Structure 1
Amino acid sequence: MAAVTSAATPAPPLSGSHGHRPRIARFGWLFGGVWLFFLIEPAQTALAHESLALRVYGVVTLLAFSAWYLLIFTFVRSTSFRLWEDEVRRGWIAIGVLLALAALTVPACRGESLATLVYIAAAAMMVLPARHAFTLTGVFVVVVLVLDAFPETESGASLVFSMIVAALAVWGIRQMIARNIELLAAQQTIAQLAVAEERARTARDLHDILGHSLTVITVKAELAGRLITVDPERAGREVADLERLSREALADVRRTVSGYRPVTLAGELAGARAALDAADIDAELPTALDEVPGERRELFGWVVREGVTNVVRHAAARRCVVTVTRDRVEVADDGRGPTDEGMGNGLTGLRERVEAAGGALTVGRSPLGGFLLRVTLTGVK
């Protein structure tokens, strides 16, 4: 018997989605079918019989064996070796049918029918759990070595080698495909996390921007409403300011969506003064920012924005003090003080920013008797 080489192993599936497979993938069964060439010697043995019935029988059984092998290969290949990974019973049924068809070739092909064991070992690696497939291959090896003691069979060692190589090759392909599937799943997870992170960033930024801008707009609108009969000229200025703030808020939203929206500490302090003045709250703000490192000013700007917005919106305060040092920023007021409601979306988003920078955010009661927001970056370079 001529050695059946490891070429009986199938080629790995082509890449591409199941819904849009490349044109070459439609002929993938050919990659498995071409190696059936090594069944030509059992076919020659069958055709050498004097009986026409036996010759026809041998060819038909070999064709049936080949067709079932190709059917297994095609189905498994189309599902990236995952068709029956959780359905062991179906896998054993497929292998059982293949074994039965191989047994039917024995009357016509005699000892040459042992060549079918190579294909059965390869198919077992396709549809069975690795432990079951290796056990079955081991049984085949023992059977071939036992039969090799009889003169009717020859080249048992080469057949054993072919079975082992075929089984290991298909097992290797399964492992490679499994790793590729895991890699694709990891890439999809990373992409989903990136989308979620971008959504969280946009939601956080929109809250911070619109929360501050709309608070100032609301305060100025109320002020303009009170002044419209008392001081129409000042009321007109407030209305003009409302238009400017609305345009700035719209521009901020657009920059947030596009991902390009600079925030500066100096700009936020200027905005804080305008918001506090409009709300008739005494403001004590720093005038010099020289000692604050440049890389910290954007984060400190976010702290000032969120802290002052909360003072104007919730505190009912008459005084607000903003303190900025090299590694700390505080916003304190003399209003209602902390409540038991916990942090809102704004402070939650600010905490995420601070923790991402390696700092700490704390809230509590201020020395003025109201609310205190403190962010510290001590030890952060």
Structure 2
Amino acid sequence: MTDLDRGTAPGSAHRWGQGRRRLLLGAGMLVFPALTAVAMSGTVSGWAAVAGYAVVAVFCLCYALTAVALERGRRHWIKPLLAAMTVLFLAALPFAHADAFFLATVVVSAVAVLWREHAARVVTAATLAALLVPWAVRPWHSGPGGFQALALLFTALTCGAFAEIAATNQQLVAARAEVARLASEAERDRIARDLHDLLGHSLTAITVKSRLAQRLADRDRDHAVAEMAAVETLSRQALSDVRAAVTGYREVTLGGELARARELLRAAGVVADLPTAADAVGPEHRELFGWVLREGITNAVRHARAARCSVELTATSVEIRDDGVGGTGDGSAVSRTGRGGTADGKGLTGLRERVAAAGGTVEAGPLAPRGWRLLVTVPPGRPDTPHEGTT
């Protein structure tokens, strides 16, 4: 069960993982000073025993201060405290003999946790010292410190492994937070792109039909009323599109976009040369080509001031041409909002993203002597994935 399953706040879980749990687990290391203190009862007595116990007590105090420093993030305390603990370990050797190396186990384990890059050298050296020093000091009347060396080695390795696991968990938490952030940004980008593409078309159609209804109001009232009814229908459709875009469930079909394009061009007074059907395009490309058609026709009506607009469909391409502003006699670009030759508008940028996800290419630019062309080509036989990477 995770912290979230238990209802624990993420910040509280982080503090527990970083401080309190480490402090609790670190308390188990106090068993080694206890072993050293017990061993002194068999090696020294009287004032020597008192001095030995005092050394162990101060060692435990330094260890507790080290734990507090880690809990409070005061890392500048740690090196001086570990140095003091090392001196106390050396001071305990005359009293506890080989069992003083239990104190060294605590110091070496701390190094394995806090400075993992030096852990191998420190653990190796300390293990060899724990093994050989009791044998080399003849007055102690003991052989190699095998038990102390094994305790030091395996405890340090266990603590080092724990530190690695803790670091990995921190990285996983950070990676999960980054994935969540990127997913949130991708979803915002998807909604922004879809709203632009959906509302750009719908609002352009509403604007065109409203102007047409105004012009017809005086001379053909019935026709004007019909156009305003169409405006109401478009408004309801726009609202539905917005809801679908926000929830991620929206469907664009090539056949539906051809019908909308024909109606929008008629309302704008533009002669439409459109295919009567979308049979030439395979099912795998129809949604993408629907988005292309929506963007191209919307731009032609909104910016081109064209008299004619044509659409040509093939199995792997869709081309939209108009004879409006956008090109001069020499073919150079004329500034047209959303259609400029030097910078893409938001609609064209979003369209390039959709087409790139399908492995296709976008060509957009002016025609000579005037006009504009939008050509999208996709590889044959590859299904388009216009929403890939955005949902």
Specify the code of the residue in structure 2 equivalent to 1:66: C
Contact map agreement 2:66 2:78 (CA 8 A) in 1:
no
Specify the code of the residue in structure 2 equivalent to 1:124: V
Q: In the superposition, relative to structure 1, how do residues 103 and 16 fare at CA in structure 2: closer, same or farther (>3 Å)?
A: farther
Q: In the superposition, relative to structure 1, how do residues 288 and 41 fare at CA in structure 2: closer, same or farther (>3 Å)?
A: closer
* Equivalent residue in structure 2 for 1:44, among 23, 33, 38: 38
Contact map agreement 2:69 2:78 (CA 8 A) in 1:
no
Contact map agreement 1:134 1:167 (CA 8 A) in 2:
no
Q: Aligned residue for 1:379?
A: 380
Distance 1:146 1:55 in 2: 22
Q: Aligned residue for 1:334?
A: 323
1:62-77 alignment runs, 5 A limit: 62-73=56-67, 76=70
Distance 2:312 2:297 in 1: 12
2:15 pairs with 1:19:
no
Q: Aligned residue for 1:365?
A: 366
Distance 2:36 2:186 in 1: 62
Q: Which runs of 5+ in 2 are unaligned?
A: 1-7, 327-332, 335-340, 383-391
Q: In the superposition, relative to structure 1, how do residues 374 and 195 fare at CA in structure 2: closer, same or farther (>3 Å)?
A: same
Distance 2:10 2:110 in 1: 24
Distance 1:27 1:357 in 2: 49
* Equivalent residue in structure 2 for 1:312, among 301, 312, 318: 301
How much has 1:285 moved relative to structure 2? 0.7
1:53-202 alignment runs, 5 A limit: 53-73=47-67, 76=70, 90-106=77-93, 108-131=95-118, 133-144=119-130, 145-151=132-138, 152=140, 153-202=142-191
Contact map agreement 1:29 1:70 (CA 8 A) in 2:
no
Specify the code of the residue in structure 2 equivalent to 1:19: S
Q: Which runs of 5+ in 1 are unaligned?
A: 1-14
Q: In the superposition, relative to structure 1, how do residues 342 and 316 fare at CA in structure 2: closer, same or farther (>3 Å)?
A: same
How much has 1:264 moved relative to structure 2? 0.6
* Equivalent residue in structure 2 for 1:246, among 235, 256, 260: 235
Q: Give the secondary-structure state (helix, strand or coil) at the position aligned to 1:212.
A: helix
Contact map agreement 1:46 1:54 (CA 8 A) in 2:
no
- TM-score relative to the length of structure 2: 0.82
Identity within the alignment, % = 38
Q: Give the secondary-structure state (helix, strand or coil) at the position aligned to 2:57.
A: helix
How much has 1:68 moved relative to structure 2? 3.1
- TM-score relative to the length of structure 1: 0.84
Q: Aligned residue for 1:4?
A: none
2:353 pairs with 1:352:
yes
Q: Give the secondary-structure state (helix, strand or coil) at the position aligned to 1:379.
A: coil
Distance 2:110 2:136 in 1: 27
Q: Give the secondary-structure state (helix, strand or coil) at the position aligned to 1:105.
A: helix
Q: In the superposition, relative to structure 1, how do residues 376 and 163 fare at CA in structure 2: closer, same or farther (>3 Å)?
A: same
Aligned length: 357
Distance 1:162 1:262 in 2: 67
Q: Aligned residue for 2:25?
A: 31
How much has 1:22 moved relative to structure 2? 6.5
Contact map agreement 2:55 2:88 (CA 8 A) in 1:
yes
How much has 1:117 moved relative to structure 2? 1.0
How much has 1:258 moved relative to structure 2? 1.1
Distance 1:41 1:241 in 2: 90
Q: In the superposition, relative to structure 1, how do residues 149 and 56 fare at CA in structure 2: closer, same or farther (>3 Å)?
A: closer
Distance 1:94 1:182 in 2: 28
Specify the code of the residue in structure 2 equivalent to 1:278: A
Q: Which has the higher contact order (CA 8 A, sep 6+)?
A: 1
Q: In the superposition, relative to structure 1, how do residues 35 and 349 fare at CA in structure 2: closer, same or farther (>3 Å)?
A: same
Specify the code of the residue in structure 2 equivalent to 1:105: A
Specify the code of the residue in structure 1 equivalent to 2:291: W
Distance 2:66 2:356 in 1: 55
How much has 1:142 moved relative to structure 2? 4.7
Distance 1:93 1:364 in 2: 70
Contact map agreement 1:32 1:70 (CA 8 A) in 2:
no
